[in-house]
Amino acid sequence: MNKLKQDRLKAAAKYIDGWLDFNYRDSRLPGIVVAVQHGDKLVLNTAYGYSDQVNKVKMTTEHGFRIASHSKTFTSTAIMQLFEADKLRLDDKISSHLDWFVSSKDKEVEKITIRHFLNHTSGLIRDGLDANYWHLDRKFPSQEELKDFVKDSKLHTIKTNENFKYSNFAYSYLGMVIEAVSGMKYEEYVTKNIIEKLGLTNTYPELSEEAEKKLAKGHTPILFNSKRKLVDHADTQGMTAATGFCSTASDLCKYFSAHCHGNNTLINDMSKREMQHGYWSAERNEESYGLGMAVYHQNKNTLYGHGGGFPGFITNTRFEPEQKLVVSVLTNAWDGPASLIAKRIVNIIDYFNMNDGKVKNAEKYEGRFFVQWDTMDVVNVNGKLISSGPRFWGDFEGENSEELTVVDSKTLSLEKKNSYGSPGEDVIYNFDTNGKVKSIIAAGTEMLLEDEYLKKMGGKK
């Protein structure tokens, strides 16, 4: 990603806000909160929909979310802090810090190192033999249950250091390593050494009474056209270090900004590079994984961060450490497309940053236009006009996107369209007496602005 230009980032944020609002209203999601930060400045922090869709409680940017596996980045950061303090080594065996971490049924367990757990190459079982706590059919395992599992069960499903294999149990045990090495409870350590250091006022390592008061409600998915139901909040007990955290989008931006290069508040840049190095690729995915950090490969850009899935919540945060850009997307539904939204927001920012044109008064052509089977955005990108299909979180990279060139003051021409589209055909504008767009005819089809379209269709905004 090239150096971000402030004016272009501001223009991108303005478009993204309207794009999010439209897609939220076009979806059946309960709510979304999105924050975008550049350096130490929030350029977007906005909420859509409901924190409680059943009782129609409006979502705000102050509502907290269960951020689930984002927790692993806090755990890995704590490990790197202890590493920098010479209190542990990354290649220490887990059993050298937890003397009970041995198994009569699985001798390979004793060979597992901190690094193996951090980058998910231990081969350890993912969630145990009874993972119904993810459906809240039982309580999350306690530390004692996790200890007993080591003694009584076969932990490996594949060999150590053979492949990337995600494990929530691995990070639960890392939480116990942090306690053993620091002499502090996990929650106490991360609160003192991460949360308070950064002044994160809405971030909690577990479901405390204070945290629960601020939380949005989680919602079940829509399956077979069912109605959403509220999901109870749950304490993650012994799995706090893997999935327990609660936070807001703006707090997550502040936290991940501390993982950008040059910020030594939590750890130094050498430790960050170690965390951000993509050791292993995730199969069937555009990702790799470092030490507690997912590595996202998109459009020749590399970003870092993590996603999270918790009963009633799906979340994702991505950051670019050189440009100090952070995007955090939080949804309060089990089927919320947080990762897709975050990816598309980064793509839109990158497009605004990389493109420009020479169309004078390009803003007069802008608008969102509707016909029953299609929606088209015409966007002014720094004097360059582009059309895109914004529905279903569409950005400027899809097959429904194309450049527009000016034919005359009321006519644009479609360019670079796939062969099933209308390359070379016209977009004809109908302006009112004040020069404002009323409608367009795109490749022979009349398309209306939202208010007029809804009026025609008998709907409402």
- Examine the pLDDT at 416 and tell me if it is beyond 90: no
- pLDDT for res 105: 76
- Examine the pLDDT at 83 and tell me if it is beyond 70: yes
pLDDT in tens, 329-360: 999 999 999 999 999 999 999 999 999 999 99
Beta carbons of 439 and 369 less than 8 angstroms apart:
yes
Q: Which of 312, 335, 354 is the last residue of a domain?
A: 354
Rounded to 10°, the helix 338-354/6-26 angle is 150
Let me know whether 322 and 370 are in one domain: no
* Residues 111-127, mean pLDDT to the nearest whole number: 93
pLDDT band (50, 70, 90) for residue 245: very high
* Residues 184-207, mean pLDDT to the nearest whole number: 98
Let me know whether 176 and 314 are in one domain: yes
pLDDT in tens, 40-77: 999 999 999 999 999 999 999 999 999 999 999 999 99
- pLDDT for res 123: 87
- The DSSP output letter for 248 is -
- pLDDT for res 207: 94
- Examine the pLDDT at 419 and tell me if it is beyond 70: no
Structural domain range at position 301: 1-354
pLDDT band (50, 70, 90) for residue 279: confident
- Examine the pLDDT at 175 and tell me if it is beyond 80: yes
Let me know whether 372 and 289 are in one domain: no
Let me know whether 314 and 401 are in one domain: no
CB-based burial, 235-252: b 16+ in 10 Å, e otherwise: ebbbbbbbbbbbbbbbbb
Let me know whether 348 and 373 are in one domain: no
For 100, the token pair is 């009970």
Note the pTM of the prediction, 2 decimals: 0.95
Q: Of 37-46, 210-219, 224-233, where does mean pLDDT reach its minimum?
A: 224-233
- pLDDT for res 296: 94
Let me know whether 39 and 187 are in one domain: yes
- pLDDT for res 218: 98
DSSP state string for 143-175: HHHHHHHHHHS--BSS-TTSS----HHHHHHHH
Q: What is the CATH number of the domain that holds 272?
A: 3.40.710.10
Q: Which of 309, 335, 354 is the last residue of a domain?
A: 354
- The DSSP output letter for 195 is I
For 46, the token pair is 């906005």
Count how many domains the chain has: 2
pLDDT band (50, 70, 90) for residue 285: low
Let me know whether 246 and 280 are in one domain: yes
Q: Which of 354, 371, 404 is the last residue of a domain?
A: 354
Cα–Cα separations (whole angstroms), residue 361 to 10, 401, 448: 18, 21, 21
Beta carbons of 345 and 352 less than 8 angstroms apart:
no
Q: Of 224-233, 249-258, 305-314, 451-460, where does mean pLDDT reach its minimum?
A: 451-460
pLDDT band (50, 70, 90) for residue 283: low
Let me know whether 346 and 377 are in one domain: no
- pLDDT for res 284: 59
- Examine the pLDDT at 158 and tell me if it is beyond 80: no
Q: What is the CATH number of the domain that holds 375?
A: 2.40.128.50
- pLDDT for res 52: 98
- Examine the pLDDT at 307 and tell me if it is beyond 90: yes
Let me know whether 29 and 138 are in one domain: yes
Let me know whether 328 and 453 are in one domain: no
The two beta strands, 280-281 and 246-247, are unpaired
* Residues 16-29, mean pLDDT to the nearest whole number: 97
Let me know whether 325 and 380 are in one domain: no
Let me know whether 288 and 224 are in one domain: yes
Q: Of 9-23, 271-285, 321-335, 396-410, where does mean pLDDT reach its minimum?
A: 271-285
Q: How far apart are CA 8 and CA 324, in angstroms?
A: 15
- pLDDT for res 355: 94
- pLDDT for res 81: 98
* Higher-pLDDT residue of 3, 286: 3
pLDDT in tens, 354-370: 999 999 999 999 999 99
Helices (H), 259-324: 269-276
* Higher-pLDDT residue of 420, 78: 78
Average pLDDT of the chain to the nearest whole number: 94
Q: Which residues contact 433 (CB under 8 A, 6 or more apart)?
A: none
